[in-house]
Each structure stands twice: as structure tokens, then as C-alpha cells.
Amino acid sequence: MASEIEKRKYPRASIRWPVSITTSNGSVRGVTEDISPEGFSIHLEKPVELSEPITISTIISTSGHILEATGEVVWSNNHRSDDENTLLGIGVRFVAISYASKVAIGIAVFNRLIAERRNPANFSNLRALVVWGSSRP
């Protein structure tokens, strides 16, 4: 049976960027845990509901690119156990994201995976996005 990683179009990388999330109930700050051009895993200071439509804002620190995207919460661990050290977290799938933002995320992920000495042969879709997207006007 294929693992969850094998089902993904793009690999993920552990990168921490501060993010601001806007929901129907206001704004929440958080930090990305892992990222891909298709979505983020984010630690939050307050809960966000499953399936909630959200707007994500951040600055991609490696390029200075300002990312604004809409997404949907696809998983959530809003309900803490008795352990208060458990971080609140959500998984976000991008619903609308600019191509430039997708490429900027792809470049950050690609560079992190190379820095971690991961085999680039295992992320051909990401390499195609980075190489083709970077040369696009």
C-alpha cells in the first residue's frame, strides 16, 4: 500500500515561517511546520475549525515573496488532550494560490531538501515546477 507521501504530487519540507490566518471569526497567528506548493501544516495559537475556508498570509523568508492564498482546513487537532504542551495544528490545502507563490514555495522546498541531502531524483515534479516556473516571465 502506498504511503501518504507517495500519493502527494510534491514533497514536503520542514520549514518554519510565521503566518497570519484570517477566518470568518477573525485572525489567528501561527507558524508553518511543513510545506509544499499544495499546502501547509501549521501550528496555531487558537483553534480553527475543520473545513473552514481561510486566507493565509506570509512572507517567504528565502525570497521575500509575499504570499496570499485561500485554503481549506483538511485536518485539525483542535481538541487538546490533558497535556497543555500539545500544540494546536491544522493542515491546509490551497484552493487559490498564484503561480508565482506556488513557484516561490517550490523553490524554498527544493532548496531545503537539497540542503538536507535528499535525493533530487525523488522529487521530479517539484524540480519541474521550480525550473520551468523560474524561467517563466
Distances (CA, A) of 64 to 40, 121, 132: 18, 28, 20
Model's pTM, two decimal places?
A: 0.81
Looking at residue 29, its pLDDT comes to 94
| In the chain, where the domains are located | 12-135
**Does pLDDT of 87 surpass 90?**
no
For 26-85, write each residue's pLDDT tens digit.
Answer: 999 999 999 999 999 999 988 888 888 999 999 998 889 999 999 999 998 876 555 555
Distance, in Å, from the CA atom of 10 to the CA atom of 106, rounded to the nearest integer, reads: 9
pLDDT band at 1 (very low <50, low <70, confident <90, very high): very low
**Does pLDDT of 91 surpass 80?**
yes
pLDDT band at 5 (very low <50, low <70, confident <90, very high): very low
Closest-CA residue to 41 (of 23, 64, 16, 10): 16
- The CATH number of 12-135, from 2.40.10.220, 3.20.20.70, 3.40.50.2000, 3.40.50.300, is 2.40.10.220
Read off φ and ψ for residue 17, nearest 5 degrees.
-125, 140
Looking at residue 83, its pLDDT comes to 56
**Does pLDDT of 121 surpass 80?**
no
Read off φ and ψ for residue 41, nearest 5 degrees.
-105, 130
Mean predicted lDDT score pLDDT of the chain: 83
Least confident of 31-45, 50-64, 106-120, 123-137: 123-137
Least confident of 69-83, 92-106, 121-135: 121-135
